[in-house]
Amino acid sequence: MRFFSKSLLILALIVVISLATLIGLLHTRYNEPVINFILAQVSPYQVFAKKIDYDIRTPYQIKFEHAEITQHQQVIVRADSIQLWLSKPSLTTRKLIFDGVQINNITPTKMPLFSQLPSLTIKRLVLNNTNIHTSQLVIKHGIIQMDNWQTPTDNTPWWQSFNGSLQMSATSIKWHQLQLQQLLINADKQAQQWQFSGISANWHHATITAQAQLNNNNLTIDQLTVSQFQLQDQQLFNIWRQQFTQRIAPLKSIILKRLDVVNSSIELPQWSADGINLSLENWQWPQNYWQQQNSHLSFSASHAKWHQINLEQPQAELQFIPQQIINHGMSAHIMDGIVRVDGWMDPQQLFINDLKASGIKLFLNKHWQQTWQQWQQQYADVVVKKLNINNSQITASTSAVPFQLTGIDIDAQDAVLKQNNQWGLWQGNIEANLGFGSINQIVMNQAIATMHSNAGQWQLDKLVLPFKDGMLKARARISLENPQRPWQLTIMGDTIPTQILYRWLALPLPLTGAMDTQIKLNGHASNWADFNTHLTGSANIAFRQLALTNITPQQLLMQWQQPHFSATPLPATLETTASLPLTTSPLTLTAQDGIIQLPPSTITGNNFGLNIDGQWNLADSNQQQCKLTLTTDCQNLTRQWSQGVSVTTVDSSCTGNTK
């Protein structure tokens, strides 16, 4: 027993002497070798400092001044000072725990592998004036404070290896390709849950503030405000979009409770806007706009441009709910006028509650029909509860049939314009007035059209087209509800321009003059085949002051020799072009179930004669029997259609040849 007591006393004396020796060495110039000897037992790193401060009165605190941390004799970190506060429990728990670590003016030349550190905990880690430069992270003049930092595992970045609060500021930071200035972060982290109570930074001339939560790859942005944002580079925009897509790929969901964009501007080739003010609430990702639960978008700008269309003072209030987008109000000064509209849309239907347009000047390019087709195919149904268009204009000078319509006034009430992918007036009332119109150089003034429909019974009550010296009136009806679409049309024409035959109906015979018409037709219109099979009615036409214009009989003969002759463009001012007076008797055409009877008719003039007779079968080209004869000077052209074949012969008494 006495021997055991002596042994314990000797061991205690050895420990006391060793500790006293160690503490004593820490007060001498041998303190650096002692510390590096201890570090060598637990890590691959060594510390070298110009001065090491240690005081027995504060035995758990040590400070390194002008320190360098090396690995394999290479400097990886430099700092003005490193100060350590060892935790008392670390002496008894055999775990390396620091109450605090503060590193001032740290500049890593190479990021150390923190996973090679021994298992340690730092209750409060402070990095002052930090400058870090790696391939993924660059920090300039940063201050980082975090609680309960621990040695990171292989898959955890060092700056995420903590639990508790995080405060960070930096004059500049670059993470991957995202670069921010004057960054401030106030956050809290527990395991995989992040709570960002405050984030602010400057980004691309903009000021950004945010509050957010991140929980197991589910991001909730409580508030995000972007002020004075500016973008003018399409390539940069594409890079940002690509990087944004990459960054959000690991996320399971994003809930954006509120986004505000204030006084910002974007200028890209396809679209641009100045003075943007935008607010977006309750947006969810990866859901698309048809899958939002109850999201609101408010937008305004001083100016915007979309595909060469300029908008002044555009405003919009939109709401997104499942399978529906509600437009609570949208307006803009556009095309020298103003437009206001509200309504809603879903994947199949467009509902316009109220649309007002005034002073619009719309210029259509030569591809406007393709653009229209692409747009209208989106919707199976189009409904307009109230529409008012006032003093507007449409011009299509480069289309296949050029036209200009000015002084357009249109009023519509409770109009169903498209139903089950079929256009027509299925329900409602429309009244339209036109101040001036020119369609392929045929001029009209003060045209009027009124129509109504009830349960698919569409009726054109009145159509009046006043020309310079005449007028055309028409009435029509069609049953849209009937699958066969039976229809009726009545046209009365008094001194209407004969050029309509060439300009509107593409008859390959450029005539001028006037004609009186009485036309009554009926049939079916479920499709073109049905139309061709059931066309029935009659047309009585009387010509006056008839003349062949802008083409000589010889030129006409050459043109009609072509396999597919058709109307060719003519000058706008036919009245100033030399013409050949013609005479003809009144013409009566009849149609029965798609077979048009052409009675023998003759048009004559000086060295000019045109004869036509036969029948034209719209439904079956093999049943066509039609003969056209054109005589001019000493030449005679005969074109005959029979059993679907067109044969053309030309006789010339000048040479005696036939071809």
Tokens of 560: 């009609």
Q: Are residues 538 and 618 in the same domain?
A: yes
What is the mean predicted confidence (pLDDT) over 290-313? Answer: 93
Residue 394 domain flag: no
Host domain of residue 37: 1-42
What is the mean predicted confidence (pLDDT) over 536-550? Answer: 93
Q: Which of 521, 518, 520 is nearest to 532 (CA)?
A: 521
| Total-model pTM | 0.81
State residue 569's pLDDT score.
55
Kindly tell me the burial class for residue 20, based on how many C-beta atoms sit within 10 Å of its own C-beta (0-12, 13-18, 19 or more): exposed
Q: How many CB atoms are closer than 10 A to CB 367?
A: 10
Q: Are residues 133 and 158 in the same domain?
A: yes
Residue 331 domain flag: no
Helix 31-42 with 2-26: angle, nearest 10 deg: 110
Average pLDDT value over all residues in the chain: 85
Q: In the 8-state DSSP scheme, what is residue 336?
A: T
The total number of structural domains in the chain stands at: 4
- Cis preceding linkage at 600, omega within 30: no
State residue 452's pLDDT score.
97
Q: How far apart are CA 42 and CA 635, in angstroms?
A: 114
CB neighbour list of residue 598: distance below 8 Å, 6 or more residues apart: 589, 612, 613, 614, 615, 616, 626
State residue 490's pLDDT score.
97
State residue 37's pLDDT score.
44
Q: Are residues 50 and 157 in the same domain?
A: yes
State residue 42's pLDDT score.
45
End-to-end CA distance of the chain: 143
Tokens of 470: 């005449």
State residue 116's pLDDT score.
59
Q: Are residues 127 and 28 in the same domain?
A: no
Q: Which of 502, 608, 503, 508 is nearest to 565 (CA)?
A: 508
Q: Are 156 and 176 in contact (CB under 8 A)?
A: no
Residue 281 domain flag: yes
Residue 602 domain flag: yes
Q: How far apart are CA 31 and CA 43, in angstroms?
A: 18
CB neighbour list of residue 617: distance below 8 Å, 6 or more residues apart: 594, 595, 596, 623, 624
Task: For residue range 431-466, list pLDDT tens digits in order.
Answer: 999 999 999 999 999 999 999 999 999 999 999 999
pLDDT at 387 over 50: yes
Q: Are residues 160 and 105 in the same domain?
A: yes
Q: How far apart are CA 471 and CA 449, in angstroms?
A: 13
H/E stretch holding 96: strand 96-104
pLDDT at 14 over 50: no
Q: Are residues 26 and 97 in the same domain?
A: no
Q: In the 8-state DSSP scheme, what is residue 397?
A: S
Residue 129 domain flag: yes
Q: Are residues 181 and 55 in the same domain?
A: yes
Q: Are residues 74 and 150 in the same domain?
A: yes
H/E stretch holding 403: strand 403-419
Residue ending a domain, among 307, 322, 351, is: 307
Q: Are residues 234 and 249 in the same domain?
A: yes
State residue 657's pLDDT score.
52
When pLDDT is cut at 50, 70 and 90, the band that residue 18 belongs to is very low
Residue 354 domain flag: no
What is the mean predicted confidence (pLDDT) over 118-145? Answer: 85
Residue ending a domain, among 272, 290, 307, is: 307
Q: Are residues 144 and 224 in the same domain?
A: no
Q: In the 8-state DSSP scheme, what is residue 572?
A: S
Residue 475 domain flag: no
Task: For residue range 52-105, list pLDDT tens digits in order.
Answer: 787 777 778 888 888 887 777 777 778 888 888 888 777 666 677 888 888 888
Residue ending a domain, among 307, 340, 365, is: 307
pLDDT at 192 over 70: yes
Q: How far apart are CA 230 and CA 272, in angstroms?
A: 11
Task: For residue range 238-280, list pLDDT tens digits in order.
Answer: 888 888 888 888 889 999 999 999 999 988 888 899 999 999 9
Task: For residue range 401-421, list pLDDT tens digits in order.
Answer: 899 999 999 999 999 999 999
| Residue written as token pair 């980082």 | 144
Pairing of strands 595-605, 579-584: antiparallel
Q: Are 452 and 428 in contact (CB under 8 A)?
A: yes
State residue 506's pLDDT score.
86
Q: Are residues 255 and 130 in the same domain?
A: no
Q: Are residues 164 and 236 in the same domain?
A: no
State residue 54's pLDDT score.
76
Residue 583 domain flag: yes
pLDDT at 572 over 60: no
